[in-house]
C-alpha cells in the first residue's frame, strides 16, 4: 500500500502525517509519499529581474521548507519516504500525483495554509475528497493539539 500525504507545513497537515505514522507504528505496511505543492513560477516572473522569492520557488526551496517539518517527523519515527515537490493548483496537483505515483490512499489535513480560519474543510481537501479515485482520509486537528499549537506561537 502506498499512501500520499500532501503537506504544506501547516499544523493540520502534520497532524495527518502523525496519524499515518501512528498507523505505521501500529503495524500498517505501507510506503509513504510526502508531497508538497508550491505556487508555479510564471513566465513573466522569470523575465523580471531576479527576486529572491521567485528564485526560491524556481529552485524548489519553498517546497523544501514546507516539507522540512514533515521530514523531521518521519526521520524521528524512522520511516522511509519518497518526496515530491510539484507546482501548480494544489488540489489538481495532489490528484495528479496520486495517480502518477500509483497511491492507494490519500491522507490529508482538513485544511491547510490557504483556508479561511473559520472554514471547516479547506478548498483543497474538499476538491481532493470529491474527485480522488482512491479512498481519502481527512484528519482534523484534535482540540488539544490546536491549543498546543496556539500557545507555541
| Residues of this chain that bind another protein (CB under 8 A) | 1, 16, 19, 22-23, 26-30, 104-105, 107, 110, 120-121, 129-130, 132-133, 135-143
- In the chain, the largest separation of any two C-alpha atoms, in whole Å, equals 52
Name the grid cell of 110: 482538513
Helices and strands (H and E) in the chain: how many: 7, 5
* Residues 106 and 98: beta-carbon distance below 8 Å: yes
Q: Which is nearer to another protein, 59 or 133 (CB)?
A: 133
Three-state SS for 82? strand
Q: Which is nearer to another protein, 14 or 138 (CB)?
A: 138
Q: Which is nearer to another protein, 86 or 107 (CB)?
A: 107
Q: Which is nearer to another protein, 1 or 76 (CB)?
A: 1
Min CB(63)–another protein separation in Å:
25
Min CB(146)–another protein separation in Å:
9
Q: Which is nearer to another protein, 63 or 122 (CB)?
A: 122
Min CB(39)–another protein separation in Å:
26
Report the b/e string of 44-55 with b at 16+ CB within 10 A. ebeeeeeeeebe
Helix, strand and coil content of the chain, in percent to the nearest 5, comes to 50, 20, 30
Min CB(27)–another protein separation in Å:
6
Q: What angle do CA 144, 146, 148 make, to 5 degrees?
A: 70
Min CB(65)–another protein separation in Å:
26
Amino acid at each position: 500500500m502506498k499512501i500520499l500525504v500532501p503537506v504544506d507545513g501547516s499544523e493540520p497537515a502534520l497532524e495527518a502525517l502523525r496519524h499515518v505514522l501512528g498507523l505505521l507504528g501500529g503495524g500498517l505496511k505501507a510506503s509513504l509519499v510526502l508531497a508538497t505543492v508550491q505556487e508555479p513560477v510564471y513566465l513573466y516572473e522569470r523575465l523580471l529581474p531576479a527576486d529572491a522569492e521567485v528564485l526560491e520557488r524556481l529552485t524548489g526551496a519553498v517546497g523544501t521548507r514546507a516539507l522540512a517539518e514533515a521530514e523531521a517527523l518521519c526521520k524521528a519515527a524512522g520511516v522511509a519516504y519518497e518526496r515530491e515537490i510539484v507546482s501548480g493548483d494544489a488540489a489538481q496537483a495532489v490528484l495528479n500525483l496520486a495517480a502518477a505515483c500509483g497511491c492507494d490512499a490519500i491522507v490529508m489535513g482538513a485544511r491547510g495554509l490557504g483556508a479561511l480560519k473559520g472554514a471547516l474543510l479547506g478548498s483543497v481537501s474538499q476538491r481532493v475528497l470529491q474527485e480522488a479515485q482512491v479512498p481519502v482520509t481527512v484528519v482534523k486537528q484534535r482540540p488539544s493539539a490546536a491549543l498546543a499549537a496556539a500557545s507555541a506561537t
